[in-house]
Amino acid sequence: MDGRPIGMFDSGFGGLTVARALIDLAPHEDLVYVGDTGRYPYGPRDLDEVRSFAVQIARWLIDEIDVKLIVVACNTASAAALDTLRALLPVPVVGVIDPGVRALAKATRNRRVGVVGTVGTIRSGAYQRAIGALPVPVELVPASCPGFVEFVERGETRSDQVSVLAERLLAPVRDAGVDALLLGCTHYPFLARTIADVMGRDVVLVSSADETAFEVRAILGASEPPGVGSGALQVFSSGDVAWFRAVGSRLFGGELGEVGRLTWPDPPAVAEAAPGARPGAASG
């Protein structure tokens, strides 16, 4: 039995959708969540830069928290850094892209699907490659949705402005006749009602959160009892912690408790990152 916590990170609040799914599926696992709100959004950034952030956070989770597994609860970071993290780190690393594609393949009937994500995720081609690797041909209509993450980070998930933006960005995907749409950004499930209004009732919205949680449980052995911790959730943010706690609790649908503050030094280039780059100060 390995009582160490699971580590999880995202650029901000989005990964809380994955945290929620994991807590529901494995309620006895302890979880340490890092929301890198001091450096969000990741979506418009260069993928090399996102990769260096991901390595830095993952190293901190291993060196300071001693996690047994890391969940990259961010599509942009998964697209940029998953292979690097798996090569560098001594613990299993789970991303959200392959679980999302598996869920999407299960949901579609007409084999024409959409994926929406950040500019970085869509431009990386990670979804295009993952769908191309499916055993049956599936036609993909990808679309990046700049602006969605900012609405979520402001806690603004239902407003006229976000509806107008959603109509503009999603209409081409809807009009292409997809029957399933993958929310390829962990922030987007918070906009599910707005997105569903645009896509219509016949399009199934798919999130990678549940499938990712299943993958974590499978890696941990799916053994019973599931986990030996107390189900504690510890949250850290590199931004304003009071704000993270307030908005995060609302989005998460439950109290996040005290949020610890992380201050990062400039991240090292990935090649130099192996020994670890620790934050200048961290308090629980």
User: Which residues are catalytically annotated?
Assistant: 74, 185
Among 37, 52, 56, 121, binds ligand DGL (CB under 6 A): 121
- Closer to ligand DGL by Cβ: residue 115 or 227: 115
Q: Tell me the closest approach of the beta carbon of residue 240 to ligand DGL, in angstroms.
A: 16
Q: Is 10 in the site for ligand DGL (CB under 6 A)?
A: yes
Q: Tell me the closest approach of the beta carbon of residue 190 to ligand DGL, in angstroms.
A: 10
Among 85, 89, 94, 185, binds ligand DGL (CB under 6 A): 185
Instruction: Find residue 117's DSSP bridge partners.
Output: 144
Helix boundaries (H) for 7-96:
16-25, 47-60, 75-88
User: Segment 60-99, which members bind ligand DGL (CB under 6 A)?
Assistant: 74-76
Measured distance CA(115)–CA(78) in Å, rounded: 15
Task: Report strand pairing: 6-10 vs 31-35.
Answer: parallel
Helix pair 209-219, 97-107: axis angle to 10 deg? 120
- Closer to ligand DGL by Cβ: residue 56 or 121: 121
Q: Tell me the closest approach of the beta carbon of residue 187 to ligand DGL, in angstroms.
A: 4
Q: What is the CA radius of gyration of the chain?
A: 18
Measured distance CA(49)–CA(269) in Å, rounded: 8
Q: Which residue is nearest to ligand DGL (CB)?
A: 43
- Closer to ligand DGL by Cβ: residue 186 or 234: 186
Q: Is 244 in the site for ligand DGL (CB under 6 A)?
A: no
Measured distance CA(224)–CA(213) in Å, rounded: 16
3-state helix, strand, coil in the chain (%, to 5): 45, 15, 40
SS3 117: strand
CA-based nearest residue to 43, from 12, 5, 4, 9: 12
Q: Tell me the closest approach of the beta carbon of residue 57 to ligand DGL, in angstroms.
A: 13
Q: Tell me the closest approach of the beta carbon of residue 97 to ligand DGL, in angstroms.
A: 10
User: Segment 32-51, which members bind ligand DGL (CB under 6 A)?
Assistant: 40-43
Interface map 187-226 toward ligand DGL (x if CB under 6 A): x---------------------------------------
Q: Is 11 in the site for ligand DGL (CB under 6 A)?
A: yes
Q: Find out whether 204 and 181 touch, Cβ atoms under 8 Å.
A: yes
User: Segment 145-184, which members bind ligand DGL (CB under 6 A)?
Assistant: 149
Q: Which helix (H) or strand (E) holds 106?
A: helix 97-107
Binding site for ligand DGL (CB under 6 A): 10-12, 14, 40-43, 74-76, 117-118, 121, 149, 185-187
